[in-house]
Structures are given as structure tokens and as C-alpha cells.
Structure 1
């Protein structure tokens, strides 16, 4: 029992649990993103437009989960200028992720790649990019 508690403490120190929580938040956001992407794609929207709209809804879900659960210790108090800054930086990090996503899906489409495969590649690259930005820039506890 003591050994398991020490392992858990060590995981927290290394940030593994935060990464796993972020992974779960991203999974939820991805379900919204990919579900809308597939729905819009089947409705006839271009792959880039469907990807951008799906990603945009995923951003909203991700903010809600990230600011309240994943990075709660680094989220500034409501109504403060720091919280406003975090929201702007969060949207900025999402726009970086959106640019990565749409560039990969667009390039894949131009190269004749199935848009679903291009989207899968974009998911991996965008996930790592936005996690780094949010962990180190948006939700820094020393700023909150």
C-alpha cells in the first residue's frame, strides 16, 4: 500500500497524471471534433472546412475541461485579467492546433490521401503541440 502511494506521488511529480488527464480531455474533445468532422464531410463540406468546424467545437469542450479539471491549479480566478489572458492564450494555442490540423488535412487531400487518414495524422501532431503550449504557457501556476 505504501509503495503504491509513493508511486502515485512520483507520477504526480513527473506530471504523468496531468498528461493522462489531458489525454482524457483531448479524447472527449476529439469525439466532438471527429464526430462533427465526419458528419459535415458526409453532408458534402470540403475536408478542410469540415476539419476546421469540428476542431472549433472541440476547442470549446477542451477549454471547459482543461480549465476546470486538468489545469485547475494553474487556472486564474474568474473575472481577473489573468483569466482573460489565459482564455486568449488558450484560443491562441487552439489556433496553432487548428493551423496544424488544417495544413495536414489540406496537404493530405492535395496529395490524394484519404481525408480521414490525414485527420488521424493531424490529431497526433496537434495533440502534442497544444499540450506543450497549454502546459508551459497557458496554465503556468506561477502566473495564475
Structure 2
């Protein structure tokens, strides 16, 4: 398996929708325009490719010096448990540098995964839910 990681190759909404659906990531994949806006408004996207197939993504919003919100981490089901998610997280941390923290909101099914790849569980977060 020859996986290429890139900060230059930005996938389009169709590729992201296919990846999120395959990975089981609960996002509004029935709304292509919204997904495209999510991509367009992210200032750090790291992708993983197997040839022309998008197999993973770390989609982030960051200020580069204080915080980096890892909004989406998705890996195609057939590539999970191969270290690709961990590599995307490590590349994200490397890219934002030591001054910035990386934080995220986990989907319920990944709560046990994140401590295994270096995240500490926090009890100090709050949320105002979106309308949909």
C-alpha cells in the first residue's frame, strides 16, 4: 500500500461526501453545497490518497498560534486500523506547530479511539447546538 499524504490536494465535495458516507461520519452529505462550504472555509486540510482514491481527511480550522479545531477526521472503512488516522493527526499537529493545541468534538463511536492517539478527554467544553 503506497499512501500519499498531502496538504496541496483539496478534494471536491463529491469526493468528501463519498468518504464521509463510507466512513460513517455523520455530516450533511445530502447537501453538496453545504459540504463544499465546509471545505472552502477550512484553512487546513490534510488528505490521504491511494492512487486517485481519497481514503482519509483531516479537516481543520486554525489560527496557527493558539488553537486548531479538528472538525473532521474520516478514514474509509477498508483502510481503518492501518494507522492512517493517527498519521493525519500527527501531520495536523506538525503543521500547526507547538504553540497551537489541537481540539475536537468526537462522534460517540470514536470516544475510545482518541485517547489511544494522544488526545486527553476534557470535561470543560460547552456547546450551542445547530438548528439541523
Higher relative contact order (CA 8 A, sep 6+): 1
Fold-level similarity (TM above 0.5):
no
Please report the TM-score for the alignment, with normalisation by the length of structure 2. 0.25
Q: Which has the higher helix share?
A: 1
Please report the TM-score for the alignment, with normalisation by the length of structure 1. 0.24
Q: Which has the higher strand share?
A: 2
